[in-house]
Structure formats: structure tokens, C-alpha cells
Amino acid sequence: MKKVLVVLLLLATAFTYAQDLPADFLSSEFHKERRDLAREKMPVNSVAIFFANPVRNRANDVDYIYHQDPNFYYLTGYTEPHAVLMIFKDEQDGPDGSYNEIIFIQPRNAMAELWTGRRLGVGGVKEKLAFNQVFNNTEFEGYNIDFSKFDKVLFYDFFNDVRDTRTEGDLFDLIASFKRKAGYPTEGVIDIESKANNLDMETLDQIMKDLRGIKTADELDLLRKAVDISCIAQTEVMKAIKPGMSEREVQGIHEFIFRKYQSEYQGYPSIVGEGHNGCILHYIENYKPQISSDKMILMDLGAEYHGYTADVTRTIPIDGKFSKEEKAIYDLVYKAQEAAIQACKPGVNIGRDLNNAIAKRIINEGLVELGIIDSVTQRHLYYPHGLGHHIGLDVHDKGNYEYLEPNMAITIEPGIYIPEGAQCDKKWWGIAVRIEDDVLITEDGFELLSDLAPRTSDEIEEMMKQPSALDAFVLPDLDKK
Ligand code: GLY
Ligand code: MN
Ligand code: MN
């Protein structure tokens, strides 16, 4: 009887699961094609091993929301933990015929699913993710494989920070089994320069950079959606923001709009910094209780949609009007950004051609003109970061940086940050501006993906005059209860 109930529970969850899922995820054909392309790039007589991301504990019996490792997701579409994927360069002989890939996943378990959610299980992975060789993770320990027969065993090195959940077949056990089977040293870390064994922790990353750095049409559909959502959120905040709101409330408006459009997560912790808080490049406390009418606010937020994350920054005057100094700095950052965007095309290098020769040069010349630095060669920290990076499944996505190529998706994000006490006239202190846009490299140039969010100082001021539906959204004042 108990068995019947468990089977019924599993069947019921499988049925409702299919009905509840959005229909626009990447297809199993996409993931399969990515595995085939990875295999093509693998060296002769090699095997590649990928592990799912670990579950991280937040406190006591509450874990952080699980997020799959982007490489693992890219190659499988599997979003659950405690799994290992192996891709073989050549066909392997098995009892039921040959195979060139195999995945071990967490088993179905009615009680666990009652508490923490549905699992695909072996049947679901075969059917939905189009794998042939699928086993429960508890079977990995007994899986008979001789790693010494391969010229190369490709994997990412471990940081030894995976927690033992004391469940048979969990990630802790999978890694331990792999290390034992592959002859990974039990003491210390492996000498990656040593060619004395077949363990290779370098090649795989280059393969994944080559693949993930160039987006397919299906990936771009999702990325465009993430970017559009993020831009609409920036635009709505321009209408809704008021002096006296908290940084957290501004963050909340962005993230509410992300959710309205079914974005599952933030692609990275949201950065919302008023005034000099914007000088902290990755300021994520967002704690200031009341933002001030005489300051700007720097807002760097990206919606993640079905795995793909935008990365869009807007810096706006809280009262809707840039002061003379704010506008001078803002327009200078814009000028540098716009020139760099216009120069985006295949063959150029982000660091040398777009940043050093264009964005940094324009910023330095402008800072001299404004009297903030003395000469264009003066060393300073007003623009302390790079110009851009790949975006995709990671906000700082895998990809190559030597030359831009068609279908690379990158950010262009210059900034100027003048902290309190800087060696310049104090009228500039506390001004922090970053403008960050998402750009797709095309065959002969670029497409600006983030064009839904106003970007020039005039466009921003115009948008900020618009009313917001949130103007009428008034909640009880808890202090007056
Ligand atoms: N949001 C992080 C970055 O701009 O790189
Ligand atoms: Mn960025
Ligand atoms: Mn950013």
C-alpha cells in the first residue's frame, strides 16, 4: 500500500510538473549539440568530467537557493544538484551497446520531493533531456571505469569545500569516487604543470570558453529577454524614484519588475548606491534608509532569465535633474562609452582598442579639462576597472578576450568614481557614475541590446518627468502604528 502511494505521488508530481513549467527553456537538442561540439574539441582519447554545483548552506536547516553550475547547465539542461556528467571522445563499450556520454543524477524520492521539490529522476532525464545513459548518483561508486586508459582526463580542479550531506551518492561522494578512480592525489593539491599523469585541469576551461563565448540564436533569444527586462526595470525606476526612498526600496522596484516578467533570479547581487556609495564598485549592502534629492544613484542590476543574465547600469539624479557637476561627469562617461560602443566590431580587442585607445583616453582628457587631474598621464583611481566582459550564463561569462567575434555578447561599462577626500575640488566629491550597456557583436559591427533604457543625460531627465503607477502605491507607516 505504501509503495502504491509513493508511486502515485511521484506520478502526480511528474504530471503537474510538465504543466507548470514555462515553455521557452533551451531545448534538449541545444544541450546535446553543445556536448557534441565539446566532444569535437576534446583531445584524442580523452574523457571530460563535469560536476553539478554544490548546495550551499545559509544557516541551520536552510540552504541558499540552488543554482546549477553554468557549464553543467549548458551541457545538460539539468538544474538539480548532486550530479556528474562524463563526455567521452570515443565510443565506450557497455553491456547494452556503445555510448559516448553518461550522466549520474539524484534519484527520485517521494519524501524528499514532498519537502524540497520535484526531481526529474532517471526517467525524466532520459525523456526531457534526451540522454541515453542515465543512472542514479548512488551507482557512480560502482561504475566500472579505468581512467588510466585515457590519454587525458579533463576536469576543473576542486576547491575541497563541498559539504558531506551524508546522503549516499551526494556531490561529496561523487567527487571522492572520481578522485579515487582517477588517481587524484589524496594529499595537497595536484601539480598542474606535471605531465606525469593524465589528469588535465587546463584544457577544459579553454574548450568551454570557445563554446560559451559565441552565442547561438537560441541563447540570444533568452539573453535579449533578460536585457529587455532589466532595461524596462531601469526605466520604471526612473519614473518612480523619489527622494526619501531607501536604496533597498529602489532595488525592490527593479527586482519586482524582474519577477513580473518571470525572471527567476538576479544574475548577481543588485548594486544600488546613492552618492559616494556608488564609488564602491560592487556595493551590495543597499542599506541607506533615505536617498537624498541632491545626489545621484548608481544602479547596476541584471535580470537572469532561464539562466542568461543581463548586466545594465544606469546612474540618475534622484530629483530628476543633473547638477552642473553631475552632468559634466555623466556626459564625459557617456562620451567615452558611446565612442567605445561605436567601435565594437569583429577583430578588435576590448582592453587595447576599446578601453586604452578610446574610453580611457577620452576619460583622461575630460578629467584634465575639468581640472580633476593635471595631465592625461597622471595615475589615478577615478576609473579603476576594465571596460567590459562577456555576458551569458554567468554575468562575467566564459569567453575569449583576444579579439571580438560575431555573436559575442559583451558589456561596455566605463565609469568615473570620485570619493570623499579625493585630491580634487570638493565640489566633485561623492560623484560616482557608471553607464553599462550590453552589446552583441555582429558580422560587421554591433547591435546595442540594452537600447530600451534611456542613456543620455537628456533622455534620462525626460523619462524622470513621467508619472509612475507606483506613485499611488502607498503603504501603512509602521512607525505611526
Ligand atoms: N555587475 C557587475 C559588473 O558590472 O561587472
Ligand atoms: Mn559588468
Ligand atoms: Mn554591472
Q: Determine the distance separating the centroid of ligand 2 and the alpha carbon of 437, expressed in angstroms.
A: 8
Please say whether the beta carbons of 52 and 80 come within 8 A: yes
Give, in degrees to the nearest 5, the angle at Cα 70 between 66 and 72.
Answer: 90
Question: Residue range 101-123: average pLDDT?
Answer: 97
Rounded Cα–Cα distance for residues 209 and 206 (Å): 5
What burial class does residue 208 get, using C-beta atoms within 10 Å of its C-beta: 0-12 exposed, 13-18 middle, 19+ buried? buried
Give residue limits of the domains in the chain. 2-211, 215-480
Distances (CA, A) of 11 to 18, 21, 28, 351: 11, 16, 22, 54
Q: Determine the distance separating the centroid of ligand 2 and the alpha carbon of 166, expressed in angstroms.
A: 38
Give the type of residue at 83: A
What are the phi and psi torsion angles at 346 (to 5°)?
-55, 140
Quick count: other Cβ atoms within 10 Å of Cβ 127? 15
Q: Is the pLDDT of residue 10 over 70?
A: no
DSSP E strands, 388-436: 409-412, 415-418, 431-434
Closest ligand 1 atom, CA of 271?
Answer: 1
Give the type of residue at 465: K
Question: Residue range 205-211: average pLDDT?
Answer: 98
Closest ligand 1 atom, CA of 268?
Answer: 1
What burial class does residue 442 get, using C-beta atoms within 10 Å of its C-beta: 0-12 exposed, 13-18 middle, 19+ buried? middle
pLDDT at 167: 94
Q: Determine the distance separating the centroid of ligand 2 and the alpha carbon of 419, expressed in angstroms.
A: 21
Residue 268 in contact with ligand 1 by CB distance below 6 A: yes
Task: Name the residue at shortest CA distance from atom 3 of ligand 1.
Answer: 311
- Top mutation candidate among 395, 410, 433, 435 for ligand 1, by most atoms within 8 Å of CB: 395
**Domain 215-480 falls in which CATH fold?**
Creatine Amidinohydrolase (3.90.230)
- Top mutation candidate among 230, 271, 314, 355 for ligand 1, by most atoms within 8 Å of CB: 271
Closest ligand 1 atom, CA of 302?
Answer: 1
pLDDT interval class at 355 (50, 70, 90): very high
In this structure, CATH architecture of domain 2-211: 3-Layer(aba) Sandwich (3.40)
Whose CA is closest to 414, among 376, 346, 366, 371? Answer: 366
Q: Determine the distance separating the centroid of ligand 3 and the alpha carbon of 97, expressed in angstroms.
A: 49
Residue 300 in contact with ligand 1 by CB distance below 6 A: yes
pLDDT in tens, 412-431: 999 999 999 999 999 999 99
Residue 284 in contact with ligand 1 by CB distance below 6 A: no
pLDDT at 185: 84
Residue 437 in contact with ligand 1 by CB distance below 6 A: no
Question: Which grid cell is 459?
Answer: 533622455
Rounded Cα–Cα distance for residues 31 and 393 (Å): 13
The rounded mean pLDDT for the chain is 94
Closest ligand 1 atom, CA of 267?
Answer: 1
Q: Determine the distance separating the centroid of ligand 3 and the alpha carbon of 88, expressed in angstroms.
A: 37
Task: Name the residue at shortest CA distance from atom 5 of ligand 1.
Answer: 396
pLDDT in tens, 427-479: 999 999 999 999 999 999 999 999 999 999 999 999 999 999 999 999 999 98
Residue 338 in contact with ligand 1 by CB distance below 6 A: no
- Top mutation candidate among 436, 439, 450 for ligand 1, by most atoms within 8 Å of CB: 436
Q: What percent of the chain has pLDDT over 70?
A: 94
Question: Residue range 264-292: average pLDDT?
Answer: 98
**Would you call 235 helix, strand, or coil by DSSP?**
helix
Q: Determine the distance separating the centroid of ligand 3 and the alpha carbon of 300, expressed in angstroms.
A: 5
Closest ligand 1 atom, CA of 311?
Answer: 1
Sequence-separated (6 or more) residues with CB below 8 Å from residue 28:
77, 128, 129, 130
Q: Determine the distance separating the centroid of ligand 3 and the alpha carbon of 122, expressed in angstroms.
A: 38
pLDDT at 37: 98
DSSP state of 157: P
Rounded Cα–Cα distance for residues 134 and 126 (Å): 7
Residue 438 in contact with ligand 1 by CB distance below 6 A: no
Rounded Cα–Cα distance for residues 164 and 178 (Å): 15
Residue 413 in contact with ligand 1 by CB distance below 6 A: yes
pLDDT at 481: 79
Question: Residue range 384-410: average pLDDT?
Answer: 98
**Would you call 330 helix, strand, or coil by DSSP?**
helix
Q: Determine the distance separating the centroid of ligand 1 and the alpha carbon of 385, expressed in angstroms.
A: 10
Instruction: Identify residues whose C-beta is under 5 A from ligand 3, the ion.
Output: 300, 311, 436
Task: Name the residue at shortest CA distance from atom 4 of ligand 1.
Answer: 311
Whose CA is closest to 211, among 50, 348, 385? Answer: 50
Q: Determine the distance separating the centroid of ligand 3 and the alpha carbon of 414, expressed in angstroms.
A: 10
Whose CA is closest to 311, among 398, 225, 436? Answer: 436
pLDDT at 16: 55
pLDDT at 7: 54
**Would you call 17 helix, strand, or coil by DSSP?**
helix
